[in-house]
């Protein structure tokens, strides 16, 4: 029981952290753009994940579902996967605004492929 709870705690704490794509200490949410994707640990996603794998040519050791970056124009490599297998990657270049949240989701095609999509959280409502 002790090991089960520890494992669950590690999963939960690991799922709550975001990667900072900037130097220095953490910044206030009003100074950064926040991307929130889908982790493969999300049980409601049925094995699907949507993550950022590269920003402005800089690759990550492991793709990240949640990323914070400075405002401005950035080029991102987005990835969807199911049960750990890559389904599709898309490169997007867009303007990110300070204080805004962006949702990295999945648009499902009739073929069953999941295409990564990135939209401002304001447009989701």
- DSSP letter at 111 equals T
Give the span between the Cα atoms of 106 and 81, in whole angstroms: 10
Cβ atoms of residues 89 and 77 within 8 Å = yes
* 71-80: b (≥16 Cβ within 10 Å) or e: eeebebbbbb
Question: How many domains, in total, are found in the chain?
Answer: 1
Give the span between the Cα atoms of 28 and 1, in whole angstroms: 38
Residue span of the structural domain in which 68 resides: 18-123
Burial class (CB in 10 A: 0-12, 13-18, 19+), 26: exposed
Give the span between the Cα atoms of 69 and 32, in whole angstroms: 6
Cβ atoms of residues 76 and 92 within 8 Å = yes
Binned at pLDDT 50, 70 and 90, residue 86 comes out as very high
- pTM of the shown model: 0.80
Asked whether residue 51 is assigned to any structural domain, the reply reads yes
Q: Locate 81 and state its tokens.
A: 């996967």
Residue 53 has pLDDT above 60, yes or no: yes
pLDDT of residue 16: 53
Residue 123 has pLDDT above 80, yes or no: no
Q: Locate 48 and state its tokens.
A: 């699907």
Give the span between the Cα atoms of 23 and 78, in whole angstroms: 22
Question: Which CATH number goes with the domain that contains 41?
Answer: 2.60.40
Asked whether residue 119 is assigned to any structural domain, the reply reads yes
């Amino acid at each position: 029981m002790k090991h089960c709870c520890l494992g669950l705690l590690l999963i939960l704490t690991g799922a709550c952290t975001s990667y900072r794509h900037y130097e220095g200490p953490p910044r206030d949410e009003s100074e950064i753009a926040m991307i929130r994707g889908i982790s493969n640990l999300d049980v409601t996603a049925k094995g699907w994940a949507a993550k950022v794998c590269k920003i402005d040519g800089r690759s990550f050791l492991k793709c990240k579902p949640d990323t914070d970056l400075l405002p401005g124009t950035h080029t991102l490599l987005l990835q969807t996967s199911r049960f750990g297998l890559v389904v599709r990657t898309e490169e997007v270049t867009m303007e990110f605004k300070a204080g805004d949240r962006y949702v990295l989701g999945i648009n499902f095609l009739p073929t069953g492929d999941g295409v990564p999509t990135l939209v401002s959280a304001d447009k989701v409502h």
